[in-house]
Structure 1
Amino acid sequence: MQLIFRYGFFKIQNIPLALADWQYLFLVLSTVLIAGGGYIINNIFDQNTDAINKPKTVVIGKSISETQAYNLYIGLTVTGVAIGFYLSNVIAKPGFASIFILIAATLYLYATSLKQMMLIGNIIVALLLSFSIIIIGIFDLYPATGIDNQQQMGLFFSILLDYAIFAFMINLLREIVKDIEDTDGDYNQGMNTLPIAIGKSRTGKIVFGLSFIPLFFILFYINKYLFELLFVTLYLLLFVVGPLIFFIIKMWTATTKKEFHFLSILLKWILLFGILSVVVISLNMKYNA
C-alpha cells in the first residue's frame, strides 16, 4: 500500500521527497516487520480462539512452537523499530523514532488485552492501518516541505489524510464483520466483542448503517473533487462504489459464518481498489484524459 502512494502518486506528480528510494523501502520494510510482529503476537494469544474459529489455519503449536513464535515476534519488532530509529535520524527528527515504538507497543497491548474490549480493539486496528498511510507524509513529505512549496505539500498531505480516513472506515467495518464471523470462538474465550454483547443480528444492522458513511464520503469526494476526471469517476463507481453498495445489500440479509466471511473478503477488495484509485487519479491528471 505504501509503495502505491510513492510510485503510483508522488513519483508521477514529480514532487520533492525526503527519502531516497532505498530509504523509502526501509520505511516500508519497517512497517511490514512491525506489523508482522503484531500478527505473530496476536496469533500467540489467539491460539485457543483460532482453534475454534480457524482450525485449518493454526500455525503456532503445530508448525512452530510458541517459543519460536515469541523469538520471531521479538526479532521482527526490534528490527522494525531499529529501522524506524535510523530513518528518524535520516530526516533529522530523532524523536520520530517514538512513533515506531508506540505502534509496536500498541500492537502488543492489542493482542494481550485491548482486543477483548468491545469496539476498542476494532478501532485500534483500523487506526493503525490508516496510520500506515499517514506515516508516509510524516517521513517523506514533511521533511521536504519548505516555505516555497508549503501549499503544494499541504495539498498532498491532505490527500493522504483523505485516503487514511477511507482506510479507517472500511477497515473498521471489516473488523466488526470479522467479529461477527468469529463469535463462537470469541465467546468461548470470554471476549467482549460487539456481536457477543448485543447479538449478531443487531451488530449486522449496525454495520449496515455504518456502511453508508464511507459510501456518502466517496460520493461526496467524487462530486466535489473528481467529477471532471472521467476515468477516475468511472473507476470509483465500478470498483469501489458498486461493490460497497453490494456489500450494504448483502449485509442486511447475511446470517451465516460463510456469508460474513465473504463480506469480510469483499471489504478487503474494496479497500485495495480504493487505494489503487490514487494511481488512476494521478495518471488521469497527468495525461488529462
Structure 2
Amino acid sequence: MLNFLKLIRYQNLIMIALMQLLFRYGFLKQQSGIALALSDFQYLLLVLATVCIAAGGFVINNIMDQETDSISKPDAVVVGRSISETMAYNIYIAVTVLGVGIGFYLSNIIGKASFSTLFIVIAATLYLYATSLKQSLLIGNIIVALLLSVSVIIIGVFDLYPAINDGNQAQMSVLFQILLDYALFAFIINFIREIVKDLEDMDGDYNAGMSTLPIVLGKARATKVVFALAFIPVLALIYYINKNLLGLQFVLYYALLCILGPLLYFIIKIWSAKTKTEFRFLSSLLKIILLFGILSIVVITLNMKYNA
C-alpha cells in the first residue's frame, strides 16, 4: 500500500484535494446570495476526477523517470522494484480513465458536454509531458506548474460558470477573478519550485539527456535565475495586499508571517545554495509557502466575515 501511495505521489494529491475543498467550503460557500452549480456530492466527484487525472500524470512520470530517479533519488524509485512496470501502466490507465469518465459525467450534469474536453486535454498533456515534453527546456516546468493552477480554475468552470445569470453576474465575476488570482500565484510558486527541483536532480537529468535550465545554463547561473524569479511573487504579493487587503489586519499579519517572510527567506538562501540537500530544503519550503498561500483564502474569508 505504501508503495502504491508513493507511486501516485499522494502528498501532492492531498494538496490538490485540500485546495479544492478549501476554495469551495472555506470561500465560495461562505459567500451570501449565490447558488453554486454542483451539489456537494457532485463537487466531491470533481475533486476525485482532478485527483485521478493528476495521479495518472504522476504514475506515467514515474514510469518514464526510472533511469533518472535511479541516479537522482534511488531510495524513491518504485517502478521496476516494488511495483512492476506493467502494473504501473495498468494503474495509470485505470485512474486516468476514471478521471476522464467522471469529468464526462459532470460535464453532462451541468449541461456543458464540451467541458469534458478539458479533462481529456489535461490527461493527454500530462502524458506528453512525461514521454517527450519534459526533455524540452522550460516547457516541462510550465506544464507541471499549470497543473495546480488548472485545479483552481476548474472550480470556477464547473461550479461558478454554469450558475451565472443576469442577477449575479457581477458577483460571480469577482469570485472568478479571485480564483484566477490564486491560480496565478500557484503557477508562479510551482514554476519556481520545478526549476529548484531540476537543480536538485541535475545529475540524473544530465545522464538521461534532458535539457533542463540548470543543464543548459549551468548550476550557478540557473540558481541566479531562480533568485531573480523569486522577486515576482514577492512584488505581486505586496501589490495585492496594498490594493485589496490593507483593511484586513489579521490577513496582513498572516501574509507577512506565513507567506512573504518565508519567500524572503527563500530568496536569501537560494542565492548561495549549491548542494542537493540545500535545493531539496528550498523545494520543500516553496511547497509550504504554497500551502500557506492556499490557506489564506480561509483566513481572508473569516477576517472579512468577523470584521463586517
Deviation track 1:103-143 (CA, whole Å, cap 9, x = no partner) reads: 00000000000010010100111112111100000000000
Q: Which residue among 13, 19, 25 is the counterpart of 2:44?
A: 25
Instruction: Look up the equivalent residue of 2:210 and give its one-letter code.
Output: M
- 1:9 alignment partner in structure 2: 27
What is the SS of the residue equivalent to 1:197? helix
Please show how residues 39-188 of structure 1 align to structure 2 within 5 Å.
39-188=58-207
Instruction: Look up the equivalent residue of 1:256 and give its one-letter code.
Output: T
Deviation track 1:200-221 (CA, whole Å, cap 9, x = no partner) reads: 1100000000100110000100
Contact 1:114 1:121 in 2 (8 A): yes
- 1:263 alignment partner in structure 2: 282
Instruction: Look up the equivalent residue of 1:13 and give its one-letter code.
Output: Q
* Cα distance in 1, alignment partners of residues 130 and 303 from structure 2: 42
* Cα distance in 1, alignment partners of residues 210 and 135 from structure 2: 5
* Cα distance in 1, alignment partners of residues 305 and 148 from structure 2: 28
Q: Does 1:225 align with 2:244?
A: yes
- 1:279 alignment partner in structure 2: 298
Contact 1:13 1:286 in 2 (8 A): no
Contact 1:41 1:73 in 2 (8 A): yes
Instruction: Look up the equivalent residue of 2:196 and give its one-letter code.
Output: V
Instruction: Look up the equivalent residue of 1:196 and give its one-letter code.
Output: I
Q: Report how many aligned residue pairs link the two structures.
A: 289
* Cα distance in 2, alignment partners of residues 81 and 12 from structure 1: 29
Runs (5+) with no aligned partner, structure 1:
none
What is the SS of the residue equivalent to 2:27? helix
Deviation track 1:164-193 (CA, whole Å, cap 9, x = no partner) reads: 000000000000000000000000000010
Q: CA RMSD in A?
A: 0.7
Deviation track 1:53-109 (CA, whole Å, cap 9, x = no partner) reads: 111111111111000000000000000000000000011000000000000000000
Q: Which residue among 44, 47, 53 is the counterpart of 1:34?
A: 53
The TM-score normalised by the length of structure 1 is 0.99
Instruction: Look up the equivalent residue of 2:123 and give its one-letter code.
Output: A
Tell me which moved more, 14-23 or 238-247: 14-23
* Cα distance in 2, alignment partners of residues 149 and 63 from structure 1: 53
- 2:8 alignment partner in structure 1: none
Percent identity of equivalent pairs: 68
Residue 5 (structure 1) shift: 0.0
The TM-score normalised by the length of structure 2 is 0.93
Deviation track 1:137-157 (CA, whole Å, cap 9, x = no partner) reads: 000000011000000000000
* Cα distance in 2, alignment partners of residues 220 and 147 from structure 1: 32
Instruction: Look up the equivalent residue of 1:132 and give its one-letter code.
Output: S
Instruction: Look up the equivalent residue of 1:7 and give its one-letter code.
Output: Y
* Cα distance in 1, alignment partners of residues 205 and 120 from structure 2: 29
